[in-house]
Amino acid sequence: MKKLAQYLVGASCVVALAFSTGAFIKVNAAKAPVAAPGQPVDLTYAAEKALPAVVHIKYVQNSKTRTVEVQDDPFGGFFDPFGFFGNPGGGGGTRQQQIQTPKRKATGSGVIISADGYIVTNNHVVEGADELTVTLNDNREFSARIIGTDKSTDLALIKVDAKNLPFLTVADSDKLKVGEWVIAVGNPYNLNNTVTAGIVSAKARGLGASTNGVESFIQTDAAINQGNSGGALVNTQGELVGINAMLYSQTGSYTGYGFAIPTAIMTKVVDDIKKYGSVQRVVLGIQGGDVLNYINAQKEQGKEVDLGTNEGVYVDKVDEDGNGAEIGLQAKDVIVKFDGKKVSKMAELQQELNGKRPGDKAAITFLRNKKEITKTVTLKNAQGTTKLLEQVDIDVLGGQFRPVTDATKKQLSINYGLEVLKVNSGALREAGISRGFIIQKVNDATVNSIETLQKLVKSASTSKEPVLYIQGIYPTGKKAYFAVPLAD
């Protein structure tokens, strides 16, 4: 177990995890210098190519009214005898209270990937933004809009309205070698157009920094700091190889290692967002981890384990209705190949899965009692189908909404909600929700704006269970609960 003094620290002001992304740049007549083995590497060519394509992003989130859970004041009843502010019964529990959030500003980096203004950055750089301003290396400024985001990989695609912009060419990160020189380009601490250099320290590194994220990082000792998020990791040929993602530090600033999202993952995410509006992801339907970690854990308990290999993905559990169960995977099996490619750890398997879409076929090779077995499966999404999933819009509900009025709040002793003004044909009518109903929670998330409802609908539409569980209250005071399916 790691010491508490060791932290994964973000390289952006937006969240604790810091990220940086590479850029695409057009290579013209000039050629990158090639150093002889054992000789110093000239990184000036790569820097000249990358700098014009890496941008500075300013993030603004306006002040908003939010509803939060607070500990109940034991004397609250004296000041709120009618329970206008929630939880009229008191009882020393929690109650919901509205607060005004401050206006937030932050900065990050991004990479132009096409001449017509598409820019790759990190999800955490743009998530929740009301305004995004992009500044180019030549100081031109543009307002940007979000095209799509993917929280699992912490990637986002944004766009500015411009033409003939400089952009970076994307290289195949799978061809990157440990020990190869790279540069990180971004805007740390608001120091625009900063270049740092290092080598590739490791590949397919999993950190366990996110619960359900796709983690297969390029590890580098090129310095990455706050504000590098969304900047470029570039090879000596001036090509994008990764999106700088995290720094590992005991102090909160760079002290040794940074981590980048490889272009092998980024390219597919960007393509899916452009084509489908959301990332098309397959799920193998297993739980497990690196074989070596399992063996070491068993040794600590005084147990000897012989799986026939020290590499691969140890299967701890198999979902009954997943792709793994379909090909007969069982607990204690070890996955060693995916589609003919060697898999030595979970991060490598995640990266390979990320490159597939529902309906694709893949051969999976695994060991059982040291015997090698290969099965081919048609990969499915989280909903258990081979259909390509598109995020649905709030229009699928077939309703019109508005935040609940102050008069209604007072009448019903509530302090938040979204009132249904009209019900047309759609999911609400089919579920039995009528005009006047006040939506307060959807899938256990508080709903007090149309924007929040929109996000929840989009998120649920591509989840394993595409259903909205809606809680609320009628004008009569009667509370109700509905399940609203979003898929046929």
Q: Is 395 a catalytic residue?
A: no
- Packing angle of the helix pair 346-354, 263-276 (nearest 10 deg): 30
Q: Which of 150, 154, 272, 333 is catalytic?
A: 154
Contact at 8 Å (CB) between 256 and 280?
no
Q: Which of 144, 126, 137, 122 is nearest to 19 (CA)?
A: 122
Q: Which of 124, 249, 290, 461 is catalytic?
A: 124
Question: What six digits make up the tokens of 252?
Answer: 């909160």
Which stretches does DSSP call E strand in 72-177?
94-100, 104-112, 118-121, 131-135, 141-150, 155-160
Contacts of 393 (CB under 8 A, 6+ apart): 454, 457, 458
Contact at 8 Å (CB) between 288 and 346?
yes
Q: Is 56 a catalytic residue?
A: no
Contact at 8 Å (CB) between 17 and 154?
yes
Q: Which of 307, 308, 331, 334 is nearest to 319 (CA)?
A: 331
Which backbone phi and psi does 60 adopt, to 5 degrees?
A: -130, 130
Q: Is 249 a catalytic residue?
A: no
Which backbone phi and psi does 487 adopt, to 5 degrees?
A: -125, 155
Sort residue 372 into left (φ over 0), alpha (ψ -120 to 50) or beta: beta
Q: Which of 12, 229, 249, 278 is catalytic?
A: 229
Which backbone phi and psi does 382 adopt, to 5 degrees?
A: -65, -25
Give catalytic residues, as residue numbers: 124, 154, 229
